[in-house]
Structure 1
Amino acid sequence: MVEHNIDFRIYYEDTDAGGVVYHARYLALAERARTEAIRAQGQAASDLLADYGLAFVVRHAAIDYRAPLRLDDIVRITTRLTDLGAASCRLMQDFHRVDGNGGLGCGSLDVRLACVRAQDGRAARFPPRWRDLLRELVA
């Protein structure tokens, strides 16, 4: 199983007035983790746009919150590509608070991305080079 792990610290900007991570920030943190997972395979998401005029867009996202992340926590996001289609892919992303005890599962995100033409937003197949890159990530 192929997976990518990355750690982020939780800052004030990520939290609500009570010091708990605001629910929408999970989406932003997950986006960063997906971007870095692709970068770890040797490409930047911006290359898809620059080279082919294509972009990833979120088609579906479902978050399951299990425990709060708080100010100054370190969160480890594990990203796994679970399905790859001609013009879309599905990823699972898990959020764990990093501590001395192996980490606490705080939530998970099931996200489906579509490949679209930036010019008009219509679905487009992944270019062969990108299909190969993504295929290497399939769990």
Structure 2
Amino acid sequence: MVQHNIDFRIYYEDTDAGGVVYHARYLAFGERARTEAIRAQGHSAADLLGDFGLAFVVRHAAMDYRAPLRLDDIVCVTTRLTELGAASCRLLQTFHRAGTAEKLDCGTLDVRLACVRAADGRAARFPPLWRDLLRGLVG
């Protein structure tokens, strides 16, 4: 797998009074898409916690908005891994309106995740299984 794609419908709760997706909702869509991208590789974030006592935390997130998503649109979020370190990774997520002839890029989310021990929040290396899992998202 080179990347992961998932669609979400834009509901009223995702928008401002003008029917445009509220900026913070992109972070929520990105989080859901990352969760499902990992799950599509055969494990869940709960497995990382349960099996190894480790968790992902967002270390940095930068959003670039290009075109608005609106009420009732279908947004496709594409997730791909761009960097993999010993205890961190960087993912690029693109948001585009699905179901249209032209693939309009509505925005990108550049997110860095750190792997930490749940018990004390200190950085920890990814277990080999998880390094291999994340490599499945290399773009």
TM-score, normalised to structure 1, is: 0.96
Q: What SS is found at the alignment partner of 2:13?
A: helix
Aligned residue number for residue 76 of structure 1: 76
Deviation at 1:103, TM superposition (A): 2.6
2:110 corresponds to 1:110: yes
Count, aligned residues: 139
TM-score, normalised to structure 2, is: 0.96
Q: CA-to-partner distance for each residue in 1:69-101, whole Å, 9 max, x for gaps?
A: 011000000001011000000000000011331
User: What are the ranges of 5 or more consecutive residues in structure 2 without an aligned counterpart?
Assistant: none
Aligned residue number for residue 127 of structure 1: 127
Deviation at 1:136, TM superposition (A): 2.2
2:63 corresponds to 1:54: no
Q: Measure the CA separation in 1 of the matches of 2:83 and 2:138.
A: 7
The one-letter code matched in structure 2 to 1:132 is D
Q: Which runs of 4+ in 1 moved over 4 A?
A: none
The one-letter code matched in structure 2 to 1:77 is V
Q: What do you get for the CA RMSD once the two structures are aligned?
A: 1.1
Q: Measure the CA separation in 2 of the matches of 1:118 and 1:82.
A: 25
Q: Measure the CA separation in 1 of the matches of 2:97 and 2:103.
A: 5
Q: Measure the CA separation in 2 of the matches of 1:138 and 1:106.
A: 22
Aligned residue number for residue 85 of structure 1: 85
Over the matched positions of the two proteins, sequence identity in percent amounts to 81
Q: Measure the CA separation in 2 of the matches of 1:123 and 1:31.
A: 20
The one-letter code matched in structure 2 to 1:34 is R
User: What are the ranges of 5 or more consecutive residues in structure 1 without an aligned counterpart?
Assistant: none
Query: Residue 79 of structure 2 contacts residue 137 of structure 2 at CA under 8 Å; is this kept in 1?
Result: no
